[in-house]
Amino acid sequence: MHGPEPRLHLPYRDWPEADRLLWERAMNNDDPFAETPSGARLAKASQQTYQIAWRRFLGFLATHEPTALELAPAERLTTERIRGFVTDVGATRSPTSVARLVDALYHAARLMISTHDWTWLRTIATRLRAAAPAQAGAGPVITSVQLLALGEQLMHESQPPAGTPMSRTDALLYRDGLIFAFLAFVPIRPKNLSELDIESHLIREGDCWFVIIPREKTKTGTPIESPTPELLKSYLVFYLDVVRQRLLRGPACTALWLNSQGGPLSYPLIYRIISGHSKDRLGIHITPHDARDAAATTWAIAAPDQIGVARDLLTHRDLRTTKHYNRAKGVEASRAYRQVIDEVRRKQKIVRSRRRG
């Protein structure tokens, strides 16, 4: 067997037949009584992460030990080969990234070859993660209240004089402000933020608006249902009725966030919008994902005894994941979170009033 041409990642079409068969079986298995998690019930992002790890490992073998591709998939996974794999990947990736890749490889093996005990591989991933140095520049410590304040500032600045139609420049500035305010109250993952659709994810029931994202669109497979607070509702309605109509070029586009050409706003542009305004206005670099850090931090400051509710707000499966986001169930969590923000804002107003006095 000559095998496929060696490369960093071995494309799925070049995988050994046994690997492709195991992967397809794992991804199509939807048995609710299975001992291990079903690939069919995994979020698409997780499926992609696990497949990338497996194909990277196959690419490593194709380059350094092509004959190993002739072995059964379970036989290829040995401590020595993982050691070589870690060394190879570590030449171009950070220790934290290497640990994540090995952890994803463990999950892929557990799904594809559930008859084997892969505890040893999980232990290696855990040790690599523990040995990785703390990342520098972990991101600014901010609260959701700061995001909301910046969003309101941008939206107020975009308002044209009375009797004057809104310009496209002002419409874009208002959109930017609403994104900040939206993230302050609805700290969803960046991918979900960029994919919001006014027909599928923004639902109106009477005088109330809800952001609803089905389980198949979320990373953890947990559906999101978040009511919009009264403060955000007025901004959202104005955006939909006036601002979005000013930006829209064709009625076929149903994306919530529009770019300057009237089409869907991509995630890279959302990233630039948030990082650009935060650097100019706050003097710090904020990313869309920092909004989730801000939500957990806001909880820790205002309601430390209720930090478990943040898990439901951020749709984490494990509270330990939420603690990772905190540096300092759905609708109920969203409403409780709104109250937390209101309480923080109220205290800030009292402090400012006393200082002026």
* CB 293 within 8 Å of CB 325: yes
Q: How many CA atoms lie within 13 A of 15 on its CB side?
A: 22
What's the pLDDT score for residue 22? 95
pLDDT at 92: 72
The answer to whether 233 and 209 are in contact (CB under 8 A) is yes
pLDDT the model gives residue 123: 93
Q: Which three-class secondary structure state does DSSP give residue 197?
A: strand
Contact call for residues 232 and 182 (beta carbons, < 8 A):
yes
Tell me the CA distances in angstroms from 75 to 19, 55, 57, 354, one per residue in order: 12, 16, 13, 70
pLDDT at 317: 46
Write down all domains in the chain, each with its CATH number in brackets.
Answer: 12-131 (no CATH), 144-356 (1.10.443.10)
DSSP string, 198-238: TTTTEEEETTEEEEEE-GGGSSSS--EEEEPPHHHHHHHHH
Q: Are 139 and 293 in contact (CB under 8 A)?
A: yes
Q: Would the CA dihedral through 14, 18, 24, 26 be positive or negative?
A: negative
Q: 272 CB contacts (<8 Å, ≥6 apart)?
A: none
For residue 189, give the nearest of 315, 341, 75 by alpha carbon: 315
> What is residue 356's predicted lDDT score, i.e. its pLDDT?
61
Q: Considering only CA atoms, which of 272, 319, 314, 317 is closest in space to residue 292?
A: 314
d(CA 191, CA 224): 13
- Helix, coil or strand: residue 314: coil
pLDDT at position 190 is: 84
Q: CA-to-CA distance for 302 and 186, rounded, in angstroms?
A: 17
Q: What is the pLDDT along the chain (357 residues), one digit of tens a residue?
A: 344 444 678 999 999 999 999 999 998 865 544 444 444 567 778 888 999 999 999 999 999 999 999 999 999 999 999 999 988 888 777 788 888 999 999 999 999 999 999 999 999 999 888 877 655 445 556 778 888 889 999 999 998 888 888 999 999 999 999 999 998 888 888 888 899 999 988 888 888 888 888 878 877 777 778 778 888 888 999 999 999 999 998 788 999 999 999 999 988 899 899 999 998 988 888 888 888 777 766 655 554 444 444 444 444 444 444 444 443 344 455 555 666 666 666 655 655 565 565
Listed residue (274, 185, 292, 271) closest to 235, CA to CA: 185
Tokens 């494309």 found at: 11
At residue 245, the pLDDT reads 94
